[in-house]
Amino acid sequence: MNLLPVQNKRSKDPGDSKAMVQARAEFLRAGYYQPLAAKLAEVALDQGGEPQTLLDAGCGEGYYLRELLAQAEQRQQQLICAALDISKWAVQAAAKQAPRVTWLVASNNHIPLPTASLDTLLCVFGFPVAHEFRRVLKPNGRLIMVDPANHHLLELKQIIYPQVHSKPEQLPVPADTWQLTDQQRLTFTISLTQPEHIQQLLTMTPHLYRASSEGRARAAALTHIDVTVDVWIRTFVSAD
């Protein structure tokens, strides 16, 4: 269902392109980020078996939510799920593989769900809109975010950029309105031995557009690279 108003579109085809969605789907299908998917499912389902209403805000092609649903089924834990993304290509790809989910083409700025309707909201490598996330979460509802840590994809960055700058890490939502209740850092190495997988990883990240043509050419010449996956998995509740 496309609920993205025309006036909220910054382009005729907002969000990830069809090529980016396809690259991400093929890369994730190869299992490289399975440890992250498993850890995210563990955190999201840590509710003592209670039923949950859950939204994946910025769902992409649905990989992490499908893994979560599979784990919930194994645990016999009930989930009522919706997912949204600004990219129609991502939502179309996701809907084909998990029809039980309510898939929405929509923005985190205007979530088409009632106030205080969610137990859990996921934002995986996404763009949080703190006030709107607070609106749709129930009192004591959880916001679970996955964000890059300092060493995430460091080896690839060293190939495509002349210099890699380390940024100071900060919380992704305001500390005065959100309380951090759990923080876990997950770090592991993936070995990419097929050039197409290296290109898929680059294509599915913002680095494809940030890198110079020379940097992209150096990446295109690679036949093998070991890359660090380094992420924060954080859980927040509203501070008031």
The span from the CA of 32 to the CA of 14, in Å, is 27
Question: Residue 72's CB: how many other CB atoms inside 10 A?
Answer: 20
Q: Is position 131 annotated in a ligand binding site?
A: no
The span from the CA of 198 to the CA of 114, in Å, is 41
Mean pLDDT in the chain?
91
Strand bridging mode 52-57 / 225-238: unpaired
Q: What is the pLDDT of residues 12-69, one digit of tens each?
A: 556 788 888 999 999 999 999 999 999 999 999 987 777 899 999 999 999 999 999 9
Q: Is position 152 annotated in a ligand binding site?
A: yes
pLDDT of res. 3: 60
Cα end-to-end distance, the chain, whole Å? 33
pLDDT level of residue 6 (50, 70, 90 thresholds) = very low
Distance of CA 196 to the CA centre of its chain: 22
Whether the per-residue pLDDT at 4 is higher than 80: the answer is: no
Sheet with 102-105, side-by-side order of all strands? 102-105, 79-85, 52-57, 118-124, 137-148, 225-238, 178-192
Q: Is position 161 annotated in a ligand binding site?
A: no
pTM (predicted TM-score): 0.92
The span from the CA of 39 to the CA of 61, in Å, is 19
Q: 3-state SS of the chain: helix, strand, coil percent to 5?
A: 35, 30, 35
Whether the per-residue pLDDT at 195 is higher than 50: the answer is: yes
Pair 160, 207: CB distance under 8 Å = yes
Q: Mean per-residue pLDDT for 8-12?
A: 49
pLDDT of res. 9: 44
What token pair was written down for 182?
């759990």
Q: What is the pLDDT of residues 97-156, one digit of tens each?
A: 988 899 999 999 999 999 999 999 999 999 999 999 999 999 999 999 999 999 999 999
Which domains does the chain possess? 6-146+165-186+231-238 (3.40.50.150)
Q: Is position 126 annotated in a ligand binding site?
A: no
